[in-house]
Structure 1
Amino acid sequence: MAEKKEFQRLPLKVVPTNYNVTLTPNLTAFTFTGSETIIVEVKEKTDVVVINSADIEIQSVKFNDMTGEITMDSEAETATFTFPDMLPIGQGSLSLVFTGSLNDKMKGFYRSKYTTPAGEERHAAVTQFESTDARRALPCWDEPACKATFDVTLVVPKDKVALSNMPVVSESETESGLRSVTFARTPIMSTYLLAFVVGEFDYVEGKDSDGVLIRVYTPLGKTEQGTFALEVAKKTLPFYKDYFGIAYPLPKMDLIAIADFAAGAMENWGLVTYRETCLLVDPENSSSSSKQYVALVVGHELAHQWFGNLVTMEWWTHLWLNEGFASFIEYLCVDHCFPEFDIWTQFVNQDLAQALKLDALNNSHPIEVPVGHPAEVDEIFDAISYCKGASVIRMLHSWIGDEAFRKGLNQYLNKFAYKNAFTEDLWDSLAEASGKPVREVLSTWTSQMGFPVLQVSETLEGGQRALTITQSKFCADGKSPEGDFQWMVPIDITCSTDPLKPFYTTVLSSKSSTVSLDGVKAGDWIKLNPGTIGVYRVQYSSAMLDSLIPAVSNMSLPARDRLGLQNDLFALARAGLSSSVDVLKVAEAYKSESNYTVWSDLASNLSTISLLTQYTDCSPLMDSYNIKLFSDVAARLGWEKKEGESPLDSMLRALVVSKLGHSGHNDTMQEAMSRFEQHISGEKSLDADLRSAVYGTVIKKGDKSHFDKLMKVYETSELSEEKVRVLRVLGYVKDEEQITNVLQFAISDKVRTQDAVSCIAGVTSSALGRQLTWKFVQANWPKLSAMYDGGFLQASLVKISIQNFADRSVIPEIKDFFEKNPAPAANRVIQQSCENIELNAAMLERDREAIKAYLTEMNS
């Protein structure tokens, strides 16, 4: 077997400045023809030009009038052009003619299947180029630092919509009866931000307060589903203009829903592509959580128009500069547009908690990861780049203040506009704006894996209260890590006198420090990390933790602190540094909790304990515990929405119904069954916020007739959100035959490839389902591997299939299988999932008897 060549970036003796490209997609043969003239700058004498090309046949190449010889390297994904004479230094033109295929892999230039209102099946031609798939549409310098301008012409059928990054400047009819559509020249940008769409779409449009034309393209006949995203975009672009101090630089902004789309969305400059569930909102049938999610995704992608598009990372090592910042900025935007979502509390649950969970693993990675071959990039499109990146930025923002943060961003974006930057360039701008040692502090968070746990204890000397704070690396298994880890940790400390205002602020730059509690009254509780902004865990002494519990019960402790307190405690229990019984005891202090996000995070942590009890004889006892815990809030909320109710209360109602339904609460199950039947019969439509919870309860507790009725909902609904809603709960069925049927259905042609993972994930909610899913994945690996072809959906599939086992004996089987059946995009996820199985097994062994004893006493 030939040894794999070491990856090398493209030589830059010749670089592009402008591409003039014409593409003609054939939507029946699923092919395309292309030609391009690339204006290049020859910087050094050479007779060779190397560019990226994959899955493309290049028929001819010329430099000026000189014909070149073509050599392809499929492994390196390059085309090498050798010319008979040296190329003259300076400007020249490289002209190519080529052909390619509109693939079905949701990458490069690909085909997306859709159904017209008349029921006809058709295809659109669309693009997804990040990270390295522009080379599948046109030969190019497909590296983020190789920026150029683009003049695009699409030759398309007359009845099709043709879109690219810029507005149309001319149209004409070709001799063959097609329409030639030419777009304005783009700004200087990276190839991965180029985009084309050809298909049938309707749209809604409007202008923001600065006159930027915004259109939301929807499937035919569904323009009303684009209205919400349009309103979000109209508010968001001016907000970012004000926040960054730089106007949106393009004349138009298109947002378009694509039927087959692997990611959630892609920030192509001026033409942002979305999965339908990430853009479309049905006024009658979309839930509050879906609206919120659409607002966040729109906010994220529009933030990229500045962060990523205007200023781009130099190489994929700095991916987090794009994703971490956009993931932070999206919350600023949604908080501005929709203050009723209390979105910063949800950040703690959705981003910070997810980052800490993943980053505590031994198989995590630093925010900045050296990336060689671009194939390695998929592995770092994860909660570290996105969620930890965003969490570190939030901590930085709090530490230096909003004014300095905005000033530094403006300086950075102006200095590197239409160029590329490194992480250090951003730190330097923020340091200059704030006068603080940003690079020194933040490099400890981006260059090393993991985060600290701060052990806190209180002492009393001569009547003076003091805290001793000690940092060490937090490991999910509770063991002391190998190596010397130390962070510079921004710390705020608050107390019961004014829970929202820190009385002490510092940066912990050593292993340990003692803080004098001057002015803090005797009996006042003390809490670190108010607002749960710091990217660290806190382990209090027993006495300090006990003093905080009353403030949880009476909710005098703010919501983000109530959330963070139990989240830290659960992580400590999972690591064996506390007991699962402590978690169950403290959770009882939350019975009067009113905040959706606090309940959501608590419910998630309790679900892990419930999952482990599936492997014991006390699962029914855990169900009884959950019923007792959630019954009071269920009674307060009821089943019907109240006039003027917050969307968060609607989301909390759905969470509580789901939790009680899954735990077997009789009244909840009966009411869910009744409302389901009324909904199916058309007697009374089920509120969109409750559908997932009711569908899941009905599938879990019902029979085959209920399953068949829900399948009919799937088959007849035209709303992607409703279809996915059904897919996510189908796997809650109980018996082996039904589970097997659901798994087979997931990979049938009745389910879009992008949605199959959601369907399979539902199956893994039960111990039997996990066992059958893993067997299914092994038996069907050739098909599944081909479906996802090395992308991040492959990693998602692997993760949901294996991570929730609680028996170590399955680990050798998993490792052996993937050694024989390599899944390169999932290598890191396989290691992380095996580590998660170890954690489950250890927690179960450690706490099973104590959990059983506690639950038995609670239910006696």
Structure 2
Amino acid sequence: MFKGLLFSKALAVGIGVVTASAVCSMVAMVVIYQIEMSNDPPRRPPTPPATTPFPSGPPPNLRLPDTLVPQMYKLYLQPHFHVQVTNITNQTFAFTGNSTVIFKCVKNTNRIFLHSKDLNVTEYRVSDGRNTELRGKLSLTMGSSNFMEIELDGVLKAGETYTLFTAFEGELKDDMTGFYKSKYTVDGEDRFLATTQMQPTDARRVFPCFDEPAMKAVFNVTIIHRDGTTALSNSNRKGHIEITIDGETWLVTEFNPTHKMSTYLLAFTVSEFKRIPALGNSQIRTWARPEAISAGQADYAQKTAESILPAFEELYDIKYPLSKLEQIAIPDFSAGGMENWGLISYREGALLYEEGVSSTANMEWIARVISHELAHQWFGNLVTMKWWNDLWLNEGFATYISYIGIDSVHPEWKISDRFVLYETQPALQVDSLATSRPLSPRAEDVQTPANITQQFDQITYSKGASILRMLSIYLKDTVFQKGIKTYLKAYQYSNTEAADFWRHLQEALGPADINVAQVMKTWTQQMGYPLITINTKTGDVSQQHFLLNQTSTRNFVWYVPVLMLKSGSNEPDYKFDPVTEKGPVRRPEYRTEEDQWLLANVYYTGYYRVNYDQGNWEKLLKQLNMNPQEIPVINRGQLIDDAFNLARAHHVNTTLALNTTKFLYNETELIPWEFGLRNLKYFILMFDRSEVYGPMKAYMRKQVTPLYTHFKNYTDNSTVPEDHAEQYNQINAISVACANELPECQNMASAFFKGWMDDPEKNAIQSNLKSAIYCSAIAVGGEKEWDFAWEAYINATIASEKDKLRYGMSCSRNIWILNRYLTYTLDPSKIRKMDFVSTVNYIAANVAGQSLAWEFVQSHWTYIIQEYGGGIMPLGNLIDGVTERFSSELELKQLKQFQKDHGPDSFGSATQALEQAIERTGANIKWVKENKQTVLDWFQREPADK
């Protein structure tokens, strides 16, 4: 036995405290193991077998060798904690367990490699098919591999089956990775539960295992837990028995074997949670805190899942493979949701909804997350990528397909129209940096846990979804869906690469001149995306790699499908002879008449940007200002987005970009406004600390006043527009009007907030408008308003309300209040760890708090990476947030010094984000120097009032 390996002092002390009372429970674990082995106990051979020389040391890379394949695990776990801490001192959070993995040897070897991290392995035993024990020596690798190695005296023979038994101990930490603890309160008293988050590489923190996605196996799980708690896992409960340990009743709950699946999908919880009573024959069950269930906060999630699941069964033409599907709202959860097969975990804000308290945005977010996780039950769970470099096969698909799921439940939302807002535009933004990466990088470049975690980014989710949308439109939905069905049926319970999916799409397409794999390699194996340049006078068209801050040195060429529309035409002309070379090449269909304009990338179906000759730009601007409805609403937004990014990359002048926002004065649709605000935000970030900001604010105030007036009756009467998109645009109107100091808006927000302060039991603020009104009222208020909001935050009983208040409090203009708020983020009893990054970023988004947040991150980085750097915590987002305003040489120097002070290995999953921040800051410095005077002159020329 190897005591003390990776065994922290805190756990050692904790185990020491409870040893007297927990000995019997540990004995119980041994008894269970003995029952399993009693029929044929292992026999030691009298002499060790002859050994064959094998290479010494770990594998040359950080992947498991291809010598062993797991088939089945028997896993016993016993979490040691009390749900309630009343009358309990020195509460200990730990777990003990044992695992028996049956594996097949496919190549002769004398060494067993699997993964183990932060576990104290107390016992191990290897035996062959005849139950003969094989002697060996165990060691753990300190470093990124997390390897646990057993070097045997004998040889494992190809074709034979073997068994590895391990016993282990671990901590239930609060880091939201592996097997961890979560806390909530009931009537002011703390409650605890134990839950899991294995993805991407944290199953190894729970039990020694072959922790790679292609190492699929069947899992037999048994949980030993205190009476009064409920244990859940991927499968239905097989049965349970009661046992007595030290006078206390415990339950031994055994679950049915799972389907064959990857380790990262394994899940279990132990809690006092309750579930919505089952209705009819529904196989879906939704769990949450008892108070949330009784308040009906899980009802919407239950109904939504019940509607989306059959829609996906029809889409995939495969019935949901499991006998049950459970959803559970976890108080502390780092992601929005996790697709554990049969037991989907969510943070509370992504599952719980309360009418009159939660907003339309909360409802939509819940539907989006549920649809995404249900899509994974096929894409990701039933069929899984072979390695993390193809993570987009899981996440890009689930993101794209989730919109189909939501459309089946809420067609009135028209959510597919907002795909470009939620996915395409954010992906294009990050993918225009020279430090971006291919959607599908080389497997050898994705090796360490930190490398793997970095794949969970905007590129994987949003670019992946965007190119699938583009491909589906290009091939036609019927072909795309036929390919999906045959692909899933062919590879169910196994693992794939992108080439496998392309092959099935090719077969679904039938005889055609299109080579799907060749086309899609240009989008998945090259970083970035193209800029299509069209000269409507000559018909010349060309493509080049679009970068914001430099000319690309890469000789990239994409296969670009172009959908275009000419003025005077009723229908767009889809070009199935796409742009496939750099060019320029002359094509008469791109030439226009003297009074005619051309619009490319109609409906924003393609993942690229478009530039035109100056004459065509002027015609499009004239159309926007005279009769914008002639241009599709999505493209009214796209023109703004392309123009601003082209100006940042020096392809068009900045004045042209700013001119695309003039028509917003008469615009009431969401998408153009949203694109306008996102792009003007860059100007605000660059200039809100300079003399440019005054005239800019006056322009913003003028432009938003008609929109604010458009929604005034709804706002004053606390009523809600019927149209889903209009509800969002009402929020835009109030947020922009108040932020740019429209007196009517500020007075309205302050009056609503004061009314709530005067009667704290009655919050009359319409739920959709809470974030905007909280922010404005606290911004113009002082300590009294902030402290009132803090008290409301502490007492809020649903995450959606806490989130709105948490954001609103970041809007204060008082430096000392923001500093105090930053200190609160390091105290999990005040700000949950899962909310740390977003809270600091909210403060950094406030011009009064930006420098405070940056100084805070610099001075606490060692602690931040230690406490928040594990699992899939978005520390890259933290770096993005606190540096997004950087546009001076001093800030660039600080960034580089920050990188130097901590060293290249001290940023974990934030490494790429830091490199991108340095690149982006350099680009900002250059752009501000070149454009500041032009921007100032333009805003000064625009009349402040109309």
- Provide TM-score, normalisation by structure 1: 0.95
What corresponds to 2:176 in structure 1?
A: 106
How far, CA to CA, are the matches of 1:804 and 1:342 in structure 2? 34
What corresponds to 1:719 in structure 2?
A: 798
The offset of 1:608, in angstroms, is 1.4
Amino acid at match of 2:99: E
What corresponds to 1:494 in structure 2?
A: 565
What corresponds to 1:536 in structure 2?
A: 608
Segments of structure 1 that go 5 or more residues without pairing to the other structure are: 460-465
Flag the 1:212–1:20 CA change in 2: closer, same or farther, 3 A.
farther
The offset of 1:353, in angstroms, is 0.5
Flag the 1:207–1:238 CA change in 2: closer, same or farther, 3 A.
farther
Q: Which has the larger radius of gyration?
A: 2
Following superposition of structure 1 onto structure 2, how do residues 170-569 of structure 1 map, counting pairs within 5 Å? 170-176=239-245, 177-206=249-278, 211-223=281-293, 224-370=296-442, 371-435=446-510, 436-459=514-537, 467-477=539-549, 479-498=550-569, 500-502=571-573, 504-512=575-583, 513-517=585-589, 523-553=595-625, 554=627, 555-569=629-643
Please point out which of 895, 918, 927 is paired with 1:843.
927
Query: Is 2:30 the counterpart of 1:30?
Result: no
Please point out which of 890, 893, 898 is paired with 1:817.
898
Flag the 1:733–1:482 CA change in 2: closer, same or farther, 3 A.
same
How far, CA to CA, are the matches of 1:790 and 1:128 in structure 2? 11
Question: How big is the alpha-carbon RMSD for the aligned residues of Structure 1 and Structure 2?
Answer: 2.0
What corresponds to 2:700 in structure 1?
A: 626
Amino acid at match of 1:761: N
Query: Is 2:64 the counterpart of 1:10?
Result: yes
The offset of 1:651, in angstroms, is 1.6
The offset of 1:120, in angstroms, is 1.8
Matched position secondary structure for 2:320: coil
The offset of 1:550, in angstroms, is 4.5
How far, CA to CA, are the matches of 2:657 and 2:805 in structure 1? 32
Deviations along 1:149-181, one digit per CA (max 9) or x if unpaired, are: 011111111211211001111111123221111
The offset of 1:241, in angstroms, is 0.8
Flag the 1:172–1:322 CA change in 2: closer, same or farther, 3 A.
same
Amino acid at match of 2:891: V
8 Å CA contact 1:144–1:192 kept in 2: the answer is yes
How far, CA to CA, are the matches of 1:596 and 1:215 in structure 2? 36
How far, CA to CA, are the matches of 1:344 and 1:241 in structure 2? 20
Query: Is 2:673 the counterpart of 1:599?
Result: yes
What corresponds to 2:43 in structure 1?
A: none
8 Å CA contact 2:869–2:908 kept in 1: the answer is no
Amino acid at match of 2:161: Q
Amino acid at match of 1:93: T
Segments of structure 2 that go 5 or more residues without pairing to the other structure are: 1-56, 82-90
The offset of 1:408, in angstroms, is 0.5
The offset of 1:141, in angstroms, is 0.4
Deviations along 1:14-67, one digit per CA (max 9) or x if unpaired, are: 221011111000124211111122121122333321111111122222223415
Deviations along 1:334-358, one digit per CA (max 9) or x if unpaired, are: 1222122221221111110111100
The offset of 1:297, in angstroms, is 0.8
Flag the 1:476–1:181 CA change in 2: closer, same or farther, 3 A.
same
The offset of 1:768, in angstroms, is 4.2
Please point out which of 91, 107, 117 is paired with 1:54.
117
What corresponds to 2:50 in structure 1?
A: none
8 Å CA contact 1:23–1:153 kept in 2: the answer is yes
How far, CA to CA, are the matches of 1:500 and 1:203 in structure 2? 51
The offset of 1:518, in angstroms, is 9.3
8 Å CA contact 1:61–1:81 kept in 2: the answer is no
Deviations along 1:434-457, one digit per CA (max 9) or x if unpaired, are: 133110111001001111111111
The offset of 1:188, in angstroms, is 0.6
Amino acid at match of 1:483: R
8 Å CA contact 2:561–2:575 kept in 1: the answer is no
Matched position secondary structure for 2:183: strand
Query: Is 2:113 the counterpart of 1:45?
Result: no
Give the stretch that moved more between structures: 214-223 or 808-817. 808-817
How far, CA to CA, are the matches of 2:845 and 2:200 in structure 1? 33
Flag the 1:199–1:850 CA change in 2: closer, same or farther, 3 A.
same
Query: Is 2:767 the counterpart of 1:695?
Result: no
How far, CA to CA, are the matches of 1:468 and 1:519 in structure 2? 8
The offset of 1:624, in angstroms, is 0.9
Query: Is 2:745 the counterpart of 1:664?
Result: no
Flag the 1:641–1:515 CA change in 2: closer, same or farther, 3 A.
farther
The offset of 1:854, in angstroms, is 1.8
Query: Is 2:840 the counterpart of 1:760?
Result: yes
What corresponds to 1:775 in structure 2?
A: 855
Deviations along 1:488-508, one digit per CA (max 9) or x if unpaired, are: 111111223445532544221
The offset of 1:524, in angstroms, is 3.7
What corresponds to 1:830 in structure 2?
A: 914
Amino acid at match of 1:262: S
The offset of 1:597, in angstroms, is 2.8
Amino acid at match of 2:181: R
Matched position secondary structure for 2:808: helix
Amino acid at match of 2:739: H
Matched position secondary structure for 1:842: helix
Matched position secondary structure for 1:361: coil
- Provide TM-score, normalisation by structure 2: 0.87
Flag the 1:819–1:381 CA change in 2: closer, same or farther, 3 A.
same
8 Å CA contact 2:539–2:591 kept in 1: the answer is no
What corresponds to 2:14 in structure 1?
A: none
How far, CA to CA, are the matches of 2:688 and 2:276 in structure 1? 49
Matched position secondary structure for 2:696: helix
How far, CA to CA, are the matches of 2:97 and 2:768 in structure 1? 47
Amino acid at match of 2:318: I
The offset of 1:216, in angstroms, is 1.4
Matched position secondary structure for 1:74: coil
Flag the 1:613–1:46 CA change in 2: closer, same or farther, 3 A.
closer
The offset of 1:68, in angstroms, is 4.2
The offset of 1:319, in angstroms, is 0.7
The offset of 1:522, in angstroms, is 6.3
What corresponds to 1:462 in structure 2?
A: none
Matched position secondary structure for 2:874: helix
Give the stretch that moved more between structures: 503-512 or 174-183. 503-512
The offset of 1:803, in angstroms, is 2.8
